[in-house]
Amino acid sequence: MGQTVWMTAEGDRYHAREDCRGLVSGQQGGEAQGFELRPVEQLHAGQAEQRGKTACEICGGSEQGS
């Protein structure tokens, strides 16, 4: 199995931490603009990459990211 990551269906990044500020701020921004929020999905990094997602620039999409 691979590393557990978090993402939304509409986002283009996956995150190493559910509380990554990139993920959280994206959700908050969408809510502020009146968009329907997508659920945050937990899956393995390999699955996210198969869906065309790339690692978050903030958390690096890995446990070692900040």
Q: Predicted confidence band at 64 (pLDDT cuts at 50, 70, 90)?
A: very low
Query: Is the backbone of residue 61 left (phi > 0), alpha (psi -120 to 50) or beta?
Result: left
pLDDT in tens, 15-45: 999 999 999 998 888 889 998 888 999 999 9
Task: Give pLDDT, residue 65.
Answer: 41
Indicate the pTM of the whole model: 0.80
Can you give the chain as a three-state secondary structure string? CCCEEEEECCCCEEECCCCCHHHHHHHHHHHHCCCCCCCEEEEEHHHHHHCCCEECCCCCCCCCCC
